[in-house]
Chains A and B, each alone.
Chain A
Amino acid sequence: DVKVTQSSRYLVKRTGEKVFLECVQDMDHENMFWYRQDPGLGLRLIYFSYDVKMKEKGDIPEGYSVSREKKERFSLILESASTNQTSMYLCASSLLGSGPNTGELFFGEGSRLTVL
């Protein structure tokens, strides 16, 4: 069964802490994404990567960074967590290329982060 796995379902951190959210996929997908989900705002793209060591900013990259050292792993880093980063974080992956359903995202279960 193919999967996208996020390392933590629930995290509680303090303001100023460095936070790592890990995501691993076993589908050999080229693309990986980090979205943030907030009520009334839907999913907003933070960063994405279409290859190892490549990254591109999404709509709301401020306060975040990412790392992709291996194809299957994409990490989201909050250098200094703030209370406004309390949210649900969703990792996703997809195939590069064209064809039916091009761009279909496969999601992890989400990581709910609370920053106190």
Chain B
Amino acid sequence: AQKITQTQPGMFVQEKEAVTLDCTYDTSDPSYGLFWYKQPSSGEMIFLIYQGSYDQQNATEGRYSLNFQKARKSANLVISASQLGDSAMYFCAMREGHEGRRALTFGSGTRLQVQP
């Protein structure tokens, strides 16, 4: 079974509107972490936001917020007030367990295009 599922291969959004990128995950480990990364056309991977499984509140970082619904095993990324520079691939990823000696498992990504 897929551990990280991103069901939207591509998304369009109008500039200045909000957009939600979906991510569901599958793990039996009670301790885990969820990450979102952005990959512009230049190729570098940019860390956006992190949510720990025991965090009581949804994570926020500027225009990015993570809609964490633990019972549904979803960790959707919300981008408010989209900008042209938000056009990129977005990857959801998960670390299982609480130790740092773990690799991240990534989803297949969502390509977001922001239209003027």
Q: Which residues on A are within 8 Å of B, measured CB to CB? A: 30-31, 33, 35, 40-45, 48, 50, 58, 88, 90, 92, 94-98, 100-107, 109-110
B103/A42 in contact, CB under 8 A: no
Point out the residues of chain A lying under 8 angstroms from B104, CB to CB.
103, 105
B interface: dominant SS:
loop
Question: Do A42 and B108 touch across chains, with their CB atoms under 8 A apart?
Answer: yes
Partner of B9, one of A31, A40, A48, A110: A40
Quick one: CB contact mask for B47-76 with A, threshold 8 Å, 1 for yes?
Answer: 100101000000000000000000000000
Beta-carbon contacts under 8 Å, B62-112 to A:
91, 93, 95, 98-109
The 8 Å CB contact of B103, one of A58, A97, A100, A106, is A58
- Residues A50 and B9 in contact, CB atoms below 8 Å apart: no
Which of B52, B101, B102, B109 has the most A CB atoms < 10 Å from its CB? B101
A and B contact pairs by CB, cutoff 8 A, 22 listed: A30-B100, A31-B100, A33-B103, A35-B106, A40-B108, A42-B4, A42-B106, A43-B93, A45-B103, A45-B105, A88-B43, A97-B100, A98-B98, A100-B50, A101-B33, A102-B33, A102-B95, A103-B102, A106-B47, A107-B44, A109-B43, A110-B43
Give the distance in Å from the alpha carbon of A35 to the alpha carbon of B93 in the complex.
Answer: 13
Task: Report how many A-B pairs have Cβ atoms within 8 Å.
Answer: 69
Residue of A nearest to B4 (CB): A42
- B residues within 8 A CB of A50? 101
Decide if the interface of chain A is mainly helix, strand, loop or mixed: loop
B35 and A103 form a contact (CB under 8 A): yes
Q: Within the complex, which residue of B4, B45, B52, B98 is in contact with A90, where a contact is CB–CB below 8 Å? A: B45
| Chain B residues within 8 Å of chain A by Cβ, number | 27
- Chain B residue numbers with a CB within 8 Å of A88 are 43
Q: Mark B20-56, 1 if CB is under 8 A from A, else 0.
A: 0000000000000101010000011101001010000
Q: Which one, A43, A96, A101, contacts B50 given CB within 8 A?
A: A101
Cα of A44 to Cα of B6 in the assembled complex, Å: 15
Is the beta-carbon distance between B44 and A104 smaller than 8 angstroms?
Answer: no
